[in-house]
A = this chain, B = another copy of it.
Amino acid sequence: MGLQTRINAAVESAIHVGQSGSAPSKLSDALHYACTPGGARIRPTILLSVAMACGDDAPEITNAAAAALELIHCASLVHDDLPCFDDADIRRGKPSVHRAYSEPLAVLTGDSLIILAFEILARAAVHSPDRAVRLIRTLSHQSGMPNGICAGQGWESEAKIDLSAYHRSKTGALFIAATQMGAIAAGQDEEPWFELGARIGEAFQVADDLRDALYDSETLGKPAGQDDLHGRPNAVSQLGVDGAISRLRDILSGAISSIPSCPGEAQLAEMVRLQAEALTPVPASRAAKAG
């Protein structure tokens, strides 16, 4: 089974848990709508890749971990798109959840997906209570306050932003969760996997800044130019396009050399290289020269 197939099956199975019985049908539909079809599923792909590099000896736990992480990510997209944040009409090329279902249902969809993520991990405890508890601790730590993605969004309401804390929590947190949860799911210590997650997170931030600055809304599948519009810090405005691309490559080399020793180390390095290729946008001027 390919990684994408495995991730999509895990996400479908998790959503199904939230839909059984006599659930209100619109909210039930909205849970599915918010998570499928997926985007690049990059966080669960990293999680699975790390788990597999570490032996993946309890695949049910790995699947639950991948689904839980993706549910939290999707919940954050649904809430970030709300009128009081980005007020985004489109997401992944279709109407955002509050546009398709209503604002109350978008708030509830995000809330329900967050709760479902922890329910899925608690259910996976039948396979290993110890790993399930550590997964819940890691996911909650990287999602909430004071270190997680909620803190990251919270920084945008401050007059004075701690930029390093802002980027680490806003973008880095769920990549750290991805590498650490992959290790935990495979029965390994999570600490040595912090750095890989943090560096992939940094790379992703720079790549996102590049895409936001270079691409139009249609290519992105979401509104472009949001950083300029909301006055958010952006690597392109600080380093220029070439500087940002060069920085992205440096971070990814660092990420690869930070991979802890494990049976699937070489294959994991290859995966990070592939993600790097996929992440790096080609500026329109160079694409034209190459064409």
A interface residues (Cβ-Cβ under 8 A, vs B): 18-28, 31, 75, 79, 82, 84-85, 101-105, 107-108, 110-112, 114-116, 118-119, 121-123, 125, 129-130, 132-133, 136-137, 140-141, 143-148, 150-151, 153-158, 162, 165
Contact B133 A125, beta carbon cutoff 8 Å = yes
Contacts of A140 in B (CB 8 A): 115-116, 118-119, 122
Which 6 A-B pairs rank lowest in CB-CB distance, beginning with the nearest? A23-B146, A115-B144, A27-B154, A119-B140, A24-B154, A84-B103
| Whole-angstrom CA separation of A145 from B19 in the bound complex | 7
List B contacts of A104 (CB < 8 A).
84-85, 153, 156-157
Contact A145 B23 (CB under 8 A): yes
Q: Nearest B residue to A143 by beta-carbon distance? A: B115
Contacts of A129 in B (CB 8 A): 129-130, 133
| Given A25-B158, A27-B157, A130-B129, A20 contacting B143 (CB threshold 8 A) | no
Name the distance in Å between A110's Cβ and chain B's nearest Cβ: 7
A15 to B24 alpha-carbon distance, docked (Å): 32
Closest to A31 in B: B145
* Pair A158/B107 contact, Cβ less than 8 Å: no
Are B144 and A26 in touch, CB under 8 angstroms?
Answer: no
Provide the residues of chain B in CB contact with A155, threshold 8 Å: 24
Residue from the set A115, A140, A153 with the largest chain B CB neighbour count within 10 Å: A115
Q: Judge whether B18 and A144 touch: CB under 8 Å.
A: yes
Contact of A151 among B23, B133, B144 (CB under 8 A): B23
A12 to chain B, nearest CB (A): 15
Least CB distance, A51 to chain B, in whole angstroms: 20
List the B side residues contacting A101 at CB < 8 Å: 157
In the complex, A13→B210 CA distance in Å? 42
Interface centre among A28, A82, A125, A140 (most CB of B within 10 A): A140
**CB distance B21 to A148 under 8 Å?**
no
Closest B residue to A85 by beta carbon equals B104
Interface contact B118-A118, CB-CB below 8 Å:
yes
Contact of A157 (CB < 8 Å), options: B26, B75, B122? B26
Please give the distance in Å from A16's CB to the nearest CB on chain B. Answer: 10
A20 touches B157 (CB 8 A): no
> Looking at the complex, which one of B21, B110, B122 makes contact with A147 (CB distance below 8 Å)?
B21
Query: What residues on B are CB-neighbors of A23 within 8 Å?
Result: 145-147, 151, 154
Q: Do B137 and A122 touch across chains, with their CB atoms under 8 A apart? A: yes
Residues in B with CB closer than 8 Å to A27 are 145, 150-151, 154, 157
